[in-house]
Amino acid sequence: MVKKYNIGLLNGIVCTHNNQRKASIGIKDKKIIKIGKIKPSECSQIIDCQNKHILPGIIDTQVHFREPGLAHKEDIGSGTKSGLLGGITTIFEMPNTSPATINKKEIDRKLRIAKNKSWINYSFFIGACKKNLDKLAKLEKIKGCAGIKIFMGSSTGSLLLSEEKDLEKALKICKRRVALHSEDEQRLKTRFINIDKKKGVSQHEVWRDVESAILSTKRVLKYAKKYNTKAHILHISTKEEIDLLKKTGKNITGEVTPQHLTLHSPNCYRKLGTKSQMNPPIRNRSHQNGLWNGIHNGIVNVIGSDHAPHTIEEKKLNWPNSPSGLPGVQTTLHIMLNHVNKGKITLKKVIELLSYNPAKIYKIKNKGQIKKNFDADITIIDLNKTYIIKNKDMAYKCGWTPFDGMKVKGDVFATLINGKIKMINKKVLGKPDGKMVQFHK
């Protein structure tokens, strides 16, 4: 007897960005084909979702998987497996690899690697630089490209677009969503000279100060408004930037990280040292509260992990020689579910920020919602289960997390990619077979 459904997710709480209801989901040929009442006998395979929440697959639009060139820190295989364990179904990967992803040759190389190694669905940003500035409008249309990424502050060596005329040109010619790392390069250079390096990593936020972020973001807003550009400001770290984004319209969107929402200075630098060093830096509670206000007021549109791993040996270097960046793709959902249980945010809002909005903002086809005929990318969670985040459980190559030892309430039970159960009860199943993300024009 031919079954109606390849997989039935039975008796769960089906959640979207705007409602929740008890229902079952029928999956066939990679798609969601029914939401409602389903009998076990109609399914080739079932997952009992009693007392569990069924979410649209989580989308992480900001990860650094380090391949090619820096694969001792992470690679596409280990990074996507980490994401899978953390309930992530789709990632957008950043261009600051070696060589940098600045042309068709390099994005095609990443696509070939991902086709064989990625556990989850994938797309790659192309980085803007002086060398490719005139070609950005063409490059952003390449299949598998998530959009153009602009680094305005000195995180990434040659992958830098810090001159105002270059920024203006990029924001004028790009038609798709442009993602930006917003820190003022000239101010960072000037301030670094006068920072007391002997005081260590506590000076990181002094060096990369609030004004560095504000100056840069004002510049982005100036040209994005002038040319009606779809600009997306990444890892916002200051309450002042939230205020700047209040009346910018739908074309300008913003993103924050779980790290900035959870850790704060000076505690993080005292307890974690360089394990809390990232760009832009983690700041004090006043700025953290500003970011939360941005979420509650609808100013923040997306949460992204900014997964940026370095080995523990690299992180042990004395600041400022220690590299900036923290791993996070495996813990993002756990951290946010813990905030749900603490009453800081609703599950509906988490879904909006981690599924619905990323798909809407970047025009991803058939993802970000639990909807008939949409891709069966699904994350199943147990909101009541406690979980202790531990270094040893991370699939990262770097082997550590800044949240080691943290007890959270809310755990990831299963991850489905393109209608297949790829992770359940912490066990990864099958082989890597994620697909390239498709976008609406």
Catalytic positions are 306
Count Cβ atoms below 10 Å from residue 227 Cβ, excluding itself: 17
Structural contact between residues 288 and 258, judged by C-beta atoms closer than 8 angstroms: no
- The tokens for 376 are 């069966």
| Strands of the sheet with 178-181, listed across from one edge | 58-63, 88-93, 121-127, 145-151, 178-181, 231-233, 252-256, 302-303
Burial class (CB in 10 A: 0-12, 13-18, 19+), 393: middle
Q: What is the DSSP letter of 310?
A: -
CA distances from 436 to 50, 98, 111, 118, 308 (A): 32, 21, 8, 10, 21
User: For helices 104-117 and 76-85, what crossing angle results, to 10°?
Assistant: 60
- DSSP-assigned states of every residue in 110-161: HHHHHHHH-SSEEEEEEEP-GGGGGGHHHHTTSTTEEEEEEE-STTSTTS--
CA angle 410, 413, 418 (to 5 degrees): 125
Structural contact between residues 150 and 119, judged by C-beta atoms closer than 8 angstroms: no
- The tokens for 398 are 């770097």
Alpha carbons 289 and 316: distance in angstroms, whole number = 30
User: For helices 210-227 and 164-173, what crossing angle results, to 10°?
Assistant: 40
Structural contact between residues 157 and 211, judged by C-beta atoms closer than 8 angstroms: no
Alpha carbons 286 and 266: distance in angstroms, whole number = 12
Structural contact between residues 420 and 430, judged by C-beta atoms closer than 8 angstroms: yes
